Structure 1
Amino acid sequence: MLSYDELTPPERELWDAFPEGRRVDLRSGVAEDDRVAGGGQWGPGRTVRAEVIVALLLGAHSVQPGAVGALTLAGARISGRINLAGARIDHSLWFEDCWFEQDVSLFGAETRSVAITGSLVPGLEAGSARIEGRLDLLRSTVETGPVSAFHREISALSLTHAHVTGGVILNGAELRAPEGWALAGGGLVCEGGFFCGGGFVAHGEVRLPGAQLGALFMRRTRLETPGPNGVALSLDNAVASTLDFSREFTANGTVRLRGTRVSDNVAFEGAVLNGPADGDGPALLCMLMQAVDFDLTLARPPSGTVDLRGAQVSYLHDNEHSWPTTVELDGFVYGSIKVAVAGERREAVGWPDSVANRLRWIRRSPGYSPQPYEQLASWYRKAGHDDDARRVLLAKQRHRRRTLRPAARAWGQLLDATVGYGYRPWLAGVWLLMLTLLGTVTFGAHSPTRVQAGEGPHFQPLVYTLDLLIPIGGLGQRTAWYWTSGTCQWLAYLLIAFGWVLTTAVIAGVSRALQKN
């Protein structure tokens, strides 16, 4: 147990101020001397032992009735290690412009608000802690801490399975763990907002898998060095109301949102997604993500793959910079696509080259999958653009044809040329007209033979040709006449075969035109 006589002058000042929550400021007022980076050179007049701070927070100096105690310290050099693992702390902690000799441990602790602002800390362990209030690391630098018995991964800031009832504020902070995790926050519950803006920089992976966040704001943020697996930010299976990566967000590594559920919007407006430096890995992975609004209007195209397989969004916003060379779209479901026009977001239908642009988008996906085409056609139909929907479905059949065997490809090419796979009924009408003219001219130049002499209608080349082309019913010509000429006989067989294909296509096209979508 520390005695008052053993305390140094700055420690006595802190001891006396604690019961009343008064601030102790040890700064000299000279900017050059108060630089936190040089805090290791501060002398005894600005040094406070960690054991004194721990003793105060654990009740060594009781608070008088009617007062609110708090530990508030500025401009100090903290010697030793602040170890409050498992402690119950009834007072707020606030360190400003302080230099910490060793890491700070709040593992499993229960505490009020914790603020370490503008300071330099060699690691902060707050895994499994419960903070009734906010965790504020505004403008602080937190470096890789040592491996502990409780947290064996190397991380600068650990919030694994922590519970923060207020917000987590990392605006302007810098987390340094080039060979590990800048932030380990798997299972974190943050009831307030999680703020990483204002020039926040992370050297190392920011891990928040399974986290429950009120909202995450990463505007004006740089994720400089990805973790060993090339991931800059991991939010797999996280739950949040908003994920805001807009306004100068830059990630040099993969951003993972696999299975993330967002009740409002995910915004990458003006963001830069560079992906891993070696190019081995996606720039953005959103497999199975769910969100209402997904804004991917980037500042420039991502340098790696964008993976949207199985994702579901109500509104997709994109621009000319949204898509890289490879985009995974299989299973991606969206209710609407919007583009920016004259500063406004409008439905991306009816614009010149709209279908061509969307088909190029789908063809960025490797291999063939029918779902992206079906999804795009469904969107066009819901928007009332049935012709565009048919163009998409025709493109689907042409893409599928390239995956078939030679015989099936040849049959597909025939269907495409003659009837456009049934999605161009007018083309079938053109072929019917051409074949009708061909049959009329050819049959009119030859003389057929009656099936039964003296019976049946007179031969009419036009009616005979139509009788061959129409597969259902009959006009009486085909059964009354036959050919001895091989040329006419083979032409008759050809017209019968084409008649089945073309007439079916015309009927299907008319049915689709009359169908209510």
Structure 2
Amino acid sequence: MFSYDELTPPERELWDAFPVGYRVDLRAGTPEGDRVADGGQWGPERTVRASVIAALLLGANAAQPGAVASLTLVGARISGRLNLAGAQISHPFWFEDCWFEEGVNLFGAQTQTIAILGSRVPGLEAGSIRIEGRLALRRSTVEAGPISPFDHENTALSLTKAHVTGGVLLNGAELIAPGGWAMAAGGLVSEGGIFCRDGFVAHGEVRLLGAQLPGGLFMKGARLERPGPRGVALALDNAVAAVLDLSRGFTANGTVRLRGAQVSDSLTFEGAFLNGAPNGDAPALVATLMQAVDFDLTLARSPSGTVDLRGAQVSHLHDSGQSWPDVVELDGFVYGSIKVAEAGERREAVRQPDSVTRRVAWIRRSPGYSPQPYEQLASWYRKAGHDDDARRVLLAKQRHRRCTLHPAARAWGHLLDATVGYGYRPWLAGVWLLVLTLLGTLAFGAHSPTPVKRGEGAPFQPLVYTLDLLIPIGGLGQRTAWYWTDGGLQWMAYALVALGWELTTAVIAGVTRALQKN
């Protein structure tokens, strides 16, 4: 416990102001004299010991009747480490334009609103803290440094398993932990959301694994630089949020990872820059098993690394010509609708010129072959009432699959494609039937066959005979009544029978699909 006589003049001013909640402003009043970056040079007239601040917050000078005690300190140099680990603090505290000599330790504390604004702090440990109110670090610079025995990582701001009933306000803040964790907030619960806008910059990984953010995460215009050794700029694995707003100039020079994240409303990257790792080895976006209602990937420019959406599920996808890199992982990606942004407008992708060509090219950016992206796309076209487009997608699926087969199967696939379009082009089968009918009529009409039984049966008719060979069901009485002594014509007859089975089956399948609107 401090005696009043032991306090310096600025500490006495703060001591007297605390019980009535008065503001203590130690600034010099000049821009040159109040630069927080030069706070290490401020003299005794602006220095307050961290131990004095801790004593006040822990009840060393009780509030006066009829007043609300609080600590508000502006323009001070705070010497020593402010250690409030495990403390139960009944008063809000506010630091503005202050320079902290050492880090701040609030691990496991229970407190009300905390505001550290426009200040410089060499590390803030707030793991397992319970804040009944807000945590505000607007315009502050928080640098990684040794804070407490609990801090074993190169971390600037630690909010691991913290619970904040209000919001976490980081607008304009700068978190500096190159190669480490700019913010480690695994398991954080922030009921009022997290706000990282208005020039927010993070040097190091922003880590929010399993965070609960019913108020959302807002990083419009934020810049994430110099990720850790994993190359991850932002990690939201298994996080649950109402909104993830990573838009309007949001820049990630490292991987944005959303594995298993659940977004109950919108996830937007509109106007964002996803640059991946500087060397191009790391993916730009990993969103495997992610779930969102509205997913907007209308980026400012194409991502520098891969985009991985395997197993993701979204109700509405928004994209543009700049949304996709050269490599996109789409296996298991499910969506309910697609809208495309062009010339400042958004419209249904099914109405886009060459829609199927563009979407198939999108799927072909995936490495290897997987049937699910084609089936998902065809299902979307069918739901939109574009059955012909759905069949074109499924035909493209068969052609892609053919590339994975052994040579004999590929040859057979080419034959099926050329003759019947794998059954998805029944009109092509009809054309082949007409061509073969004409060919057979001319070939058989130029020669005379031998009757099976002389003097019996109908006279030979080349057209009817050819149709009898090509139509596999029923009979017209010609095929069984005549045969050829010419070996070439006999083999031609056999070939027409085989082709007739294939082509007629394709026509029937095509008509069935049309009638069933499949």
Which category of TM-score, normalised to the shorter sequence, fits these structures? Answer: over 0.9
> CA separation in 2, counterparts of 1:239 and 1:151?
26
Give the structure 1 partner of residue 171 of structure 2: 171
Please tell me the residue identity of whatever aligns with 2:51.
E
User: C-alpha displacement at 1:492, in angstroms?
Assistant: 0.5
Give the structure 2 partner of residue 400 of structure 1: 401
Give the structure 1 partner of residue 40 of structure 2: 40
Give the structure 2 partner of residue 58 of structure 1: 58
* Conservation of the 8 A alpha-carbon contact between 1:147 and 1:153: no
| 1:263 match: secondary structure | strand
* TM-score under structure 1 length normalisation: 0.99
Give the structure 2 partner of residue 353 of structure 1: 354
Give the structure 2 partner of residue 504 of structure 1: 505
User: C-alpha displacement at 1:342, in angstroms?
Assistant: 4.9
> CA separation in 1, counterparts of 2:446 and 2:66?
117
* Conservation of the 8 A alpha-carbon contact between 2:464 and 2:478: yes
Residue by residue over 1:420-467, the C-alpha shift from the partner in whole angstroms, topping out at 9 and shown as x without a partner, is: 000000100000000000110011111111111111111111111111
* Conservation of the 8 A alpha-carbon contact between 1:100 and 1:121: yes
| 1:175 match: secondary structure | strand
> CA separation in 1, counterparts of 2:151 and 2:466?
85
Give the structure 2 partner of residue 435 of structure 1: 436
Please tell me the residue identity of whatever aligns with 2:94.
W
User: C-alpha displacement at 1:335, in angstroms?
Assistant: 0.4
> CA separation in 2, counterparts of 1:188 and 1:154?
19
Give the structure 1 partner of residue 186 of structure 2: 186
Residue identity (%): 79
Q: Give matches, 1:193-212, under 5 Å.
A: 193-212=193-212
Aligned-residue Cα RMSD (Å) equals 0.8
* Conservation of the 8 A alpha-carbon contact between 2:160 and 2:187: yes
* TM-score under structure 2 length normalisation: 0.99
User: C-alpha displacement at 1:345, in angstroms?
Assistant: 1.9
Residue by residue over 1:60-81, the C-alpha shift from the partner in whole angstroms, topping out at 9 and shown as x without a partner, is: 1111222111110000000000
Q: Give matches, 1:66-105, under 5 Å.
A: 66-105=66-105
> CA separation in 2, counterparts of 1:288 and 1:198?
31
Give the structure 2 partner of residue 339 of structure 1: 340
> CA separation in 1, counterparts of 2:508 and 2:243?
49
User: C-alpha displacement at 1:340, in angstroms?
Assistant: 2.1
> CA separation in 1, counterparts of 2:56 and 2:434?
97
Q: Give matches, 1:379-394, under 5 Å.
A: 379-394=380-395
* Conservation of the 8 A alpha-carbon contact between 1:147 and 1:154: no
User: C-alpha displacement at 1:147, in angstroms?
Assistant: 5.8
> CA separation in 1, counterparts of 2:147 and 2:368?
45
User: C-alpha displacement at 1:339, in angstroms?
Assistant: 1.1
Give the structure 1 partner of residue 14 of structure 2: 14
| 1:116 match: secondary structure | strand
Please tell me the residue identity of whatever aligns with 1:165.
T
Give the structure 1 partner of residue 291 of structure 2: 290
| 2:191 match: secondary structure | strand
Give the structure 2 partner of residue 249 of structure 1: 250
Residue by residue over 1:44-100, the C-alpha shift from the partner in whole angstroms, topping out at 9 and shown as x without a partner, is: 110000000000000111112221111100000000000000000000010000000
* Conservation of the 8 A alpha-carbon contact between 2:103 and 2:147: no
User: C-alpha displacement at 1:36, in angstroms?
Assistant: 0.2
* Conservation of the 8 A alpha-carbon contact between 1:301 and 1:321: yes
> CA separation in 2, counterparts of 1:341 and 1:410?
41
Residue by residue over 1:95-128, the C-alpha shift from the partner in whole angstroms, topping out at 9 and shown as x without a partner, is: 0000000000000000000000000000000000
> CA separation in 2, counterparts of 1:193 and 1:63?
32
Residue by residue over 1:481-509, the C-alpha shift from the partner in whole angstroms, topping out at 9 and shown as x without a partner, is: 11111111011011001001100000011
Are 2:130 and 1:156 aligned? no
> CA separation in 2, counterparts of 1:67 and 1:161?
33
Give the structure 2 partner of residue 4 of structure 1: 4
> CA separation in 1, counterparts of 2:327 and 2:175?
32
Stretches of structure 2 lacking an aligned partner (at least 5 in a row):
none
> CA separation in 2, counterparts of 1:342 and 1:208?
35
> CA separation in 2, counterparts of 1:142 and 1:251?
19
| 2:292 match: secondary structure | strand
Stretches of structure 1 lacking an aligned partner (at least 5 in a row):
none
| 1:443 match: secondary structure | helix
* Conservation of the 8 A alpha-carbon contact between 1:143 and 1:176: yes
Question: How many aligned positions are there?
Answer: 517
> CA separation in 1, counterparts of 2:472 and 2:435?
17
Give the structure 1 partner of residue 107 of structure 2: 107
Q: Which runs of structure 1 show a deviation greater than 6 angstroms over 4 or more consecutive aligned residues? A: none
| 1:472 match: secondary structure | coil
